[in-house]
Every structure is written in C-alpha cells, then in structure tokens.
Structure 1
C-alpha cells in the first residue's frame, strides 16, 4: 500500500495479473495473416532446414583432395539452384550457385573469384578444405527440434522461420475481444461542430489505436450517457459481448462519475485509486464475470495508464510469453524537486547532449495535455518519494518497447 488510501502500482499490477486468465480459444490462420498473433501451441520442426547440404556461394563444387596446386580440373556438370544434382564424377568440378544442392561426392565449394576457367577446365588458386562454403543439412533447424514456443508473439522473423519449415497454416490464440466505453455528455465525435461546453472525444481514438497496436479486436465502441441506469445497462451489454471492458472517465468522485458506482452496485469493484501520476482514479472490477478496467478521463492519463496498467494485463490475457520490459538507465535533463507518494510517469524523450544521451521532459506534464505524448518518445519513471536532479539516472521506457 502507498498511503493516502492509494494502492501502490506494484500491488495493483499483482492484483490484476493474478486475475488475468489467458484466452484458450484458438484458430488456424494463413501464414500471411499471422503477424502479431500469439502462437497457440509449440511448433516443432517437421524436417531439417535446409533439407540438404547447399552452396553458400557461387563457385565450383569439388572433392577437396582432388585439388592440387596448378593442376586443372574438368568441369563435368552445372547445377542451378532448384535442380537435383547428379553425383560428382571423381577428379572433376561442378559449376554451382548459391543455394544449389551439393552433389554427392563433393565436400567443398570454391568461390568463383578464386578460380581461373579456360573452356571446360579450371585451375583453383586457393587452399581448399572439407566443408568449405557449404551450408550443412539442418544447419538452421533439425527435425523434431522446438522452433517456437507457445505464447510467442509472431513477428516478421517468426513468419520467415515458419515459412522455412513449410508451414502455411499457423495455430494462433483468438484475439482478445475488448469493448471501449467512453463517458461524458460533453464529448462529440470529430467532424461534428462543437456547441458551448463540448469537447472532442479524444480517448475513444487513443484507445482504438492502442488496442489495435496490442492486437485486440474491438467488438463494441460507444459513449456512455451520464446516468446511472444507462451506465449499468451498457456495461451489462458490453459484458455479454467482450472478454474485457475498458472505460475512460467516470471513476473519480464527482456526482456524474457513474462507472465506479455502477460497478459497486451491479458488479464488483476490487481496486480503486492508484498511487501513480498521472492516473490516480483508476478502477478494476467486473460485471457479469467480465473484467472491467476503468481508466481516468484525462487524455494523457488514459495513454499512460493503458500502457502501464492495462497493457500488462492484456498481454497476460493474450497468453503472451514475452512481456518483460528492460528500459534504459539514462541521465535526466529535468528535475523533480517535490517528492510524492505517487510514482510519476513523465512524458519524455531522448536527446543528444554532446556525446551523451539524456532524457528530456515535456515542460507541461498536465494530464490533459495530449501534445506532450506526441512530442515524447517514451516515459521516464520517477519512483515514489524521490527527487530528481539534473544528471541523475532515471529509467526510460520507449513507447516502441511499451507497445511491442
């Protein structure tokens, strides 16, 4: 616990992650459609990769003992890539190309730059050893080996590896179905004129982008009317459609903040008010068995709390195994003179200062200033009860790492 009736971030994350049950639904998708998906089962290599010894260079395949200084070898064959070679005739060489299968009887490939050719004869001007310039069968992957573990998030390199094993249908976990509910009668969709007292609905589009980056399916995206009944009814409808409900706003202590109250009345509220900045009024609970993460209403708070609190929970629900963050320790180009019981996430970016890389903070850290997040490239962490002087080392997490 963090004091002031606030829950520490570490306790809050433990609470959420203890209740984050990974999805078990699986489906098979085409290899071309598996980018960003989570592998649903271990993938074992069905056959050696490569399936046969092949040449690493353009040149000539030989048996190394046949090569003698100044003596010519007859070129007895030519093996383009993709063709099955005949066995090497003893005492001869075979013209070969990168990726071509090595003929039986050959045990080395000489680069063409080390060869003088006259008609059908060559003279090799290099020392030749067995295995030279040959990619061995199974050099990359051997049959039966574990290539990729369940829970792996598939990147382009994993797509390539799967392709190298001949797989065209990939078993992946089903995408997490998420409902987005934004609160506030003052919110208007972009493209509409603003009446007095109205503002544009920033959070809906921030959350749509964040959830798309996280590989989730948004099954419902609505605005909540600022009434208790409407809030309860929409939460119940969302619970029937989604694996997770994410709300923005309505979790503070105002008379028009109905999400927290609706959770307490018709669901369950198990966590509220975190010792973080920005984002103190964050809630977690459930409606009809469907988890609800209630984010604050201010735009920058939504971004930060999604990355710091909601995203670790989502990753575990997705069944991912690669969720650890490393960050960087870099000198601060800013200062924090007042301590707080709240852990602060400073919108910041790396900047060069001579030969040193420092972390600079956006001048205005107000939770309503979304431009700070566009200027920044990540978040610098100021621990609880900590002052920061210029030059002190701080932990910096890039947005790329947080969202990967």
Structure 2
C-alpha cells in the first residue's frame, strides 16, 4: 500500500492543483494520497477564503484519500518551519513513501545538493544572514544570498541566488532540508509549475491560473469569472459556502477584533507576541492614528518598509490576532515537532490508511479533538473558532465544529 504526500493550502483548489495531483500519482506510482492541509490561516499570514473543512472537502472530491491538518503553529510560519512541520507529519504517518511538490524548474538537480549543505545551519551561515539583514535586506533575500554564498559552488553563485528567489524553489528546498534533518525515508519528487506564476494576479492561460488570481476574480468579480480555472467540485463547494454565509473570508473580516486588540494593547503587550520584532510594537502604535480608514489593508500598507515584507507583516498580525506568544512559537518549541496527526477527512482508501497508521504512526492519530489534549491542538481549536466568528453569517456551531462534528467521510 504505497502513498504519496502532498503539502497544500488549496486556497482554493484550482485546475493547477488537479494537474499537480495527477502528476504526483503518476510519477510516484502511489495507490493513495495523503494531503497535509493548512488550517484556517495560511503560510503567508492570510486567512483561507473558505474554511479548512471546505478546503479538505475539495481535496477529497479531487481524489485525495486522507487529509491531515497542519497545526497553526507551523502553518503560519516562514518556509523553514512550515516545511519542517508538514514534512514531519508526513514522515510520522509511517505510510507515506514520497513527497511531491511543484517547483519552477521541475528538477531537484540543484536543490538536492544545496539542501545537504544547508541542512546543518552553521554559525557562518547565520552570520552571513545577520550581515545581510543589517544591510537592510528582508529575511528571504538575506537567506537566499547567504545560502548562495555558503553553498560554495564555484561560478554558480548567481544561479543559486536566482533559484532561491523563486517561491516554489525556496519552499521545495526547505522540504528537502526538513526530510534530511528528520532522517526521513520519504522520497522527494517534483514537477514543474505550469502556465501560472505563484504571485500572478491575472490569468495568462485559458484554464490554469494562480490561486492569487483566482481569489482576485472571486473577490472583485464573482464565481462565474473564476469558473474557467476551477474544477466543478470546487465551484460547487465555494458556491455553497458563500450562499450559506461562510465566506468569502479576507483580512477585512477580522478588522474589528484585530484593531480592538491593537488599540487596547500597550507596546509591552504587543512585544510578547510572535513576529513582533525589532521595535514593530512601537511602529504599530505610531501608524494607527494616521490611517485614512481603520482597515487591515491600510494598516499593512502603512507598516511596510524595505526591511519588512508584506508576508512578514501579515504573519505578525495573524499571531497578534490569535495571541500567539514568542514562547509558544520559539525555535526550541517548533523544533520539537508536531504532537499529533489531526484527521480532517478521509475516503474509503483513507480508511485503509488509517487502519495501517494505527500500527505505523509515530504520533497519536486524532479523530476526535475533544478526546485529546496538546498545547498545539488548543491553538488549532482557538484559530478555528476565531475564524468561524468572522463568517458573514456566524453561528456558534461553526465556532465549535472541531468538537461537534466527526471528520469528513467522502464516498467515491
């Protein structure tokens, strides 16, 4: 019983994801698929346009057999910790043989040797990163330049730098680093991303667009405008969620609770939250009175500098909204790894995997969150409740769905 792992957000699941899914099964030769899915809040610090349950349903409708939630402690993090948490979950299942991810090049020829060098983050690498940060670079750029120099491939420094400045290559590199650090038997595979760049805001192909472009169409136009780029099952799920008042969710949906927290917190209070670094607590308090409108989008724009990327600031606001402390998200805490395998949904094939995982999994398999206690799980449940409270039509049962409803069981 072979299984390929996918690390996904599906915000929302589009035709490009269907292509990735089919190619992953093809090149891995796997019978089953296991998807590690981010929960309510995503890696770049933004909320999912629909809930984790709706996105898990999309994955199952596409053909995934088992959907496991990536804890929010790892889901809303820079590439290093996001990749480590997700890879650790795949490894912990004991049933996943390979991990397939998309890259701009579709090859591991450069990423694999680079990952072997960077898996052991030397003091010299950290020194180089710090040097470039002090030059005014943001962290992704500083890491890319330091990694290129540390690799020491004569005459290839610029090529390595170019590769690391592409988002899918960066994430793929960190998947490889994570697997090496874990000593995992999971085999890495990659396919080329086609027809759409990660950040493309406008479709350039008749049927495939980036998730960014699809969300833009959904939010600025309507479902029919996004329809050419979405499979039928995604269209149906999004239509249902929007009609029943569970979407669309954007940063604007959290304006009230976030601004209330910012307005009633001292700089000292704010400094306790994860990603509030280097005096950002004071910058937050300085820019608030000058906002033209009390909107999250305006706040992000006012906070942005050359040093701080939009993504870094979004993640910071997410951690403030969810009251994630520096201690909870410290490097030692994250390095300990996820504490459980939380099942969001499964098919009949997934049921077989779950039976096997009872013998092979190195972490507890959680089907009923109410029967298990863990600090990371408590953060997940809080994040889900806060997310559901921001629905256009909020209901208490949705805020506590993790406790009240069993995982999705998908028949095909």
State the TM bucket, normalised to the shorter chain. under 0.3
| Bigger strand fraction | 1
Q: Which has the higher contact order (CA 8 A, sep 6+)?
A: 2
Q: TM-score, normalised by structure 2?
A: 0.25
Larger C-alpha radius of gyration, 1 or 2?
1
